[in-house]
Amino acid sequence: MGVRQASLEDCEAVVALWESCALTRPWNDAESDFKQAVVGKTSDVLILEGNEQMVASAMVGFDGHRGWVYYLAVEPSRQKGGLGRQIMSAAEEYLREQGAAKIQLMVRSENSSACAFYKSLGYEQQPVLTFGRRLEP
């Protein structure tokens, strides 16, 4: 198994993985998210490969203080085998190298398996509320 940074050519396969893990939403443009992360100066998409096949990915970004992890996905048929821990470890290392003092991530409240996964890695629910507003008409 090895981790590499994604290229723009990986977009279709990575977005398909995200979709297979039910991480995308109709109101978010996952392809645009991917492309912006790959070309960004403080963001990227990491890919975990085994036998030259993508088995997991995670989008990472650094806002100048916090590191952020988005779209962490493991091929559904390969879940519960430690691959999530491997790609998360790579995400943490990437963000550490960027200078992040802390890592944040968001999980949908109904996604109990993801909540349990992150708790098993030492992540704690934060005492904050997230507010959002669409800027598009």
Whether residue 125 is contained in a domain is answered as no
pLDDT in tens, 6-27: 999 999 999 999 999 999 998 8
CB 72 within 8 A of CB 87: yes
Residue 53 CA from chain centroid, whole number: 18
Residue 135 lies in a domain: no
The pLDDT score that the predictor gives to residue 26 is: 87
Q: What is the pLDDT of residue 27?
A: 86
In terms of Cβ atoms closer than 10 Å to its own Cβ (0-12, 13-18, 19+), residue 123 is: middle
Residue 48 lies in a domain: yes
CATH number of the domain that 57 lies in? 3.40.630.30
Q: pLDDT at position 69, please? A: 98
The pLDDT value given to residue 82: 96
Beta-carbon count within 10 A of 2 CB:
10
Asked if the structure places residue 63 within a domain, the reply is: yes
- Whether residue 136 lies inside any domain: the answer is no
Query: How many structural domains does the chain have?
Result: 1
Q: How far apart are CA 7 and CA 87, in angstroms?
A: 17
At 126, list the tokens. Answer: 């934060």
Torsion sign across C-alpha atoms 70, 63, 3, 80: negative
Q: How confident is the model at residue 52 (pLDDT cuts 50, 70, 90)?
A: confident
Q: Please determine, for residue 137, whether its predicted confidence score (pLDDT) is greater than 80.
A: no
Choose the weakest-confidence range: 12-26, 74-88, 123-137: 123-137
Report yes or no on 133 lying in a domain.
no
Q: How many CA atoms lie within 13 A of 122 on its CB side?
A: 6
Q: Output the pTM of the full model.
A: 0.93
Domain residue limits at 44: 2-120
Looking at the DSSP bridge assignments, the partners of residue 9 are none
CA 42, 27, 21, 35 dihedral sign is negative
Please report whether residue 31 resides in a domain. Answer: yes
